[in-house]
Structures are given as C-alpha cells and as structure tokens.
Structure 1
Amino acid sequence: MKHTIFYILFLATLSICNAQSELVKIEADTTNIRIGEQFEIKISVGETENVIIPKLSKLNGLEVIDSLKTDTLKNTISKKYILTGFDSGAFYVPKQQIFIKNQVYETDSLLINVATVKIDTTKVKKFPIKGIKGEPYQFDDYKNIVLIALLLISIVLTTLYFALKRSKDDQVKTFVPKLAPYQEALRNLKLLDAKLLWQNNKIKPYYSELTTIVRNYIERELHVPALEQTTNQIIESLFDFSDAKVIETERDTIKKLKRLFEQADLVKFAKAKPLAEDITSDRKIAEYIINNMQPILEEENSEVSYSTPVVIVQKPVIEKPNTLAKVVLILVTAAVILILSIGLGKVISMSKTSKNQMENVQ
C-alpha cells in the first residue's frame, strides 16, 4: 500500500514537472562563448494571459547587455535577452521564476562556458615606450604676464594723460555790461574796419559781416527778424513799419538799405567785385542807416536799460609741461616697454627650450 501511494505521488510530481517544462522553457543560442562575446537567451511561456516575466537575476559572472521587447505569437509569449561574460570559466544562468495566473513556475538552469582567447606572444609586434608628449601652449600659460603688461601700460598711459592734458575745469568768468543795439552796431563797424578785409581782397567776407551788423541792429532795435528774412521781406516790413509810424526813418533810408543788401547779394552770390569807392560808400551807407533808423518810443518806455550783464567765459592760460617732464615720461614709457619685451622674450625662450627637451626625450 505504501509503495502504491509513493508511486502515485512520484507520477504526480513527474507530471507537474513535465507540465512546467512544457509551459515554461529557457534556451540559449549557444552555451560556449569567448570572453566579451555576446549570446542570446530566450524564455518562452505557453500562456498569454496574466503572465509576468521578471528581469534576469542572480547572474554570477555574466552580464545583461540588452533586454528585447516581449513577443506574442499565437498562444506563446517569448522574451529575449542578450548576455556576455568578461571572466573565463563556467557560469550558470539560474532558474528564473515566471508568474502565470498568480502561480509560480520555474525555468531550467543553463550552463555557459566562457573561454579565453589564446594569444601567441611570440608573434605579437612590440613597440618602444613613447616619451612624454608636450602639450600645446594656451592663453592660460601667458595670462598672468599679459595681465601685468596691460596693468603697467594702463598706468603709464594714465600718467601721460594727466600729465600732458590741459585743464578744462577752471574757467575765468568775467561780467561785462550788455551794450545797446546802436552802440553795439557802431562798435562792430569799427572792429570790421580794423580787420582790413576788403583791403586784403576779402570782399565777400567783408560784405557778409557788414550786412550781418546791419541786420542784427534792425532785429534788436526795430524787432524785425532780419537775420531770418530775405532782403525783400525786410524792406517790405520796414515800409509797413514806416507807414504805421512805428519806426522813425525816411523812405529814402529804406531804399538805401535795399541797395546795400542788393550789392551784398551780388558780391556773395554773383561774385561781383565792386570798386574801392563803392565799398567805402557802402560802409558809409551802413553807418547812415544805423544813425537814421530808430524806433519811435513812447514816453513811458523811453528809458531802456541795457545794463543786463553778459557772462563771458575765458579759458585760463595754462603752461604746458616743460621739456624735462616730457623727456622723463618718454624714458619711463620706454623702460616699461623694454622690461615687458625682455620678460616676454625670456618666457618664449624658456618655452622653446622645454619643448626641445621634450622632443629629445621622445
């Protein structure tokens, strides 16, 4: 009776193992590889529902290179792995647990033999030991020298700048009273005579300044924008002012002004060259116009004050650095440049020497 029960249990266990072996399989494309050679393992499961294939575990001496996607074909699921080994010897791929419908199934184990590659040292070509290879020079090798050189150059240039530049900060301010238009015009005529422009054949600049003096007088004294208007516009405005009794002048004076402006336009734009008598006559006409063309002032505003001060800025006379200071600065600059050139020369020579030594070692 006991033998019968044992026999039944043995058959049941054998049937279960056969069922597991048929349901879960593991196989390798090869069981003999060389060091570093890759091989493939495939796990097949004869079921497609509720199947879990975990990652390969407990691999001693073997490494998983890649895990491919799971394939489903009819009623079978397969999973492929790519493995390799970097140590020689015999290594087992242990039994792997597969979960099918919450039940555990185990695969068989695999024995993988990893062999070494035989090398015939007598046929291997030998090479001599190479010497130290010099690295190419970079900016960091000369960074400190360049920074020091730039600092010294900036100091020298700053010293030269402040030593040679003229001071523009200190300015002398003087206050002079503002002249009346009539007085200013007469003074400017005298200054124009002192320049002797037309006597030196500078007729165009002479007439330009002469008409500017007259225009400026008309603008300041009669409040006519003579500096901006043309000759005809000025004459029309003066005739209107004369008819309106705003200015005290005769129409003949306005006509003389027109002839003066026309003569100046011919000189400036048509390059006319009047005779000396005509130039002298025009000078007298300009003074005559200034003397005989004045505004009519009311009694209340008859007194006009021209004492408003004008600020005239004059630059002070500052002595330039003497010759000795210039010579000293030039010598200092030359010395700094010489020191920098010597230092750079030594660095370059040292770098070449070290490079030659490295080449000799090689």
Structure 2
Amino acid sequence: MKRIFLLISLITSTLISSAQVSVEAEIDSIQIFVGQQTHLRLTTTVKPSAKVELPQFQPTQMMTPGVEVLACQEEKKEAADGFEARSMVYTLTSFDDTLYYLPPMTVKVDGKQYKSKSLALKVLTIDVDTTKIDQFFGPKDVQDNPFLWSEWSLPFWLSVLMLVLVALCYYLYLRLRDNKPIITHIRIVKRLLPHQKAMQEIEQIKADKMVSSENSKEYYTKLTDTLRKYIEERYGFSAMEMTSSEIIERLTASQDQKALDELRELFMTADLVKFAKYSTLINENDKNLVSAIDFINQTKLENQPVEETVKPQLSEEDQRTQKSRRLLKSFITIISVVCAGLFGYVVYTLYQLLN
C-alpha cells in the first residue's frame, strides 16, 4: 500500500512539474515570396529560477534544408502567476519556391528536454508574364549629381590661394638663393706672450748689430719702444703714450727697486740720446741691453694661454644681410606649412565631393 502511494505521489509531482513548463512556437507568416523574410518565435514559460537553453543558430545556418536563419534575438518578459516568458526570435528567409516542413524545436529546462510543435513555411515565386516584354525595362544609367557652385567654391578659392602662396614661396626662394650667405669662421691663432715678443725684438736688435752702431738714437729708440710695448701688454696701461718718469712711477709700487733703478737709468740714457744728442759708449749700450733683458725676465708671466680665439666682426651691411636671410627662411617655412595644410584640405574636400 505504501509503495502504491509513493508511486502515485511521484507521478503527480511529475505531472505538476511538466504543467509548469510550456513551449510554444509560432511564425509571423506561413507564406512568403522568394527572398522575403519572416520571424519564428520560440517561447518557453518557466519559473524565473529555471535554467533554460534555447536553440542557437549561426547567421546563414540552415534551420532545415532550404530555410536560412539570418539572425537570432533573445527576449525575456514577465508572465502570469510569477512565471517568466523567455523567447528566441529567428529571422528566416528562403530562395526556393516550395513548402518547407519546420521540425519541432527542442528546449532544455533544468536539463530536461521539451519540444515545440512543428510548423510549415510556404515560399512562393513571383509570376512573370513573358508575353509582354515591352512592359519590362532595363537598368537605368548612373545619374550624375547636379553641379552646385556652393559646394565647389571653397576648394576652388583655396586652390587659388595655394597657388599664389606657392608662387610667393618660389619667389622668396629665388631671393634667398641670389642672396649669398655670409660665412664666417672663428679662427684660433697662436699668440706670442708679451715677454716672447719683446725678446724677439731684442734678438732682432742684436742681429742688426745696432748695439755697436754709431746711430745711438735709433738703437735707444728701438730698445725703449720694445720695453714700452712689453710694459703696456704686461701691465695693461698705455706706456707708449707716457713719459719715462710716468712709467717708472706706475711701476714703483709693484717692482723690485734694483730692477727699477736699472730701468730708470736705461730710460734716462735713452732720453739724453734722443733729446740732448748724448753720445754713449759701446759698453754702456751693452749694459742697457742687459738691463732690459733682466727686467723682462724678472717681470714675465709664465703659463699664460698661447692660443687666441679670433671672432670675425661683421659690418652693418653683412648684419643686415644675415637678418634678411633669416627672415626669408622663416617666411618660406611658414608658407610651405600653410601650403601643405591647404593642399591636404583641398584633396580631402574633393574626395568628399566626388564620392
């Protein structure tokens, strides 16, 4: 008795569960012309918590031979009594005129399969009366779009502007080409230090044998000029324009008194020879020459740079020429960029108009 009761309960629960799931299939139109489309809707009514698997088709996949699925779209909405209707809408088409049988579609609900009813689709062809050929016309020729100046005016005037700018750019280029660049070079030359220059001149005095010459005035003039140039470059004051006493006074604060006494005696002798026609002896000339050499050796500066950077000085005309070339290059660059932008815009506009 207990077994019979359990069996009845199981059958009853199964029937109730089956009654809670419904699968329906419907088609918008059972009759279409070749190439037309229709929609097949597969709807399953289940509890919201149920797991439903609806049939899926890829685009251009055949539902049945001759009937093609173009698209699938899933829908969901609430139903009565707390149930939920889940649907899949299939877009169908066919290109053969015949009657198609659409087999039942299988839906899985919580792992259990349910089938819909089968459907039919009739595909019709279009009747053509071939006895009246004059009613049929061939394809039309491609129609040209009407010409509108308002559409073409902007690229036209921009093209004119671009040509003017190109001509101006070419003119400026010719000006730049004819205006030769001014090339300046910074030279690095070796320079002699003040004491080296002075010693070279003293060696020249020796080579010219001016010490033993009867022309004492020329000898002392050359010797004192050499010392004046050395003092001017070594100490940085205008010794060539100063008197002997002024030079000695400037040197008194920084030089050895013994060296200054010898230098003072040399300048005094030179002044007497040049202005008072004083005659000197050969040994006196030798002594003054040695005094000059000693003074140079005692006051010379070693470890000075022996190379000098010589920067050329441009004239006002050259400076104006350089400025003019820079302006021409700037104008050419700006105009070239503008022309490139205009060209790109005109090409893009023409492409839009012609396509």
Normalised by the shorter chain, which TM-score bucket?
0.3 to 0.5
TM-score (norm 1): 0.36
TM-score (normalizing by structure 2): 0.36
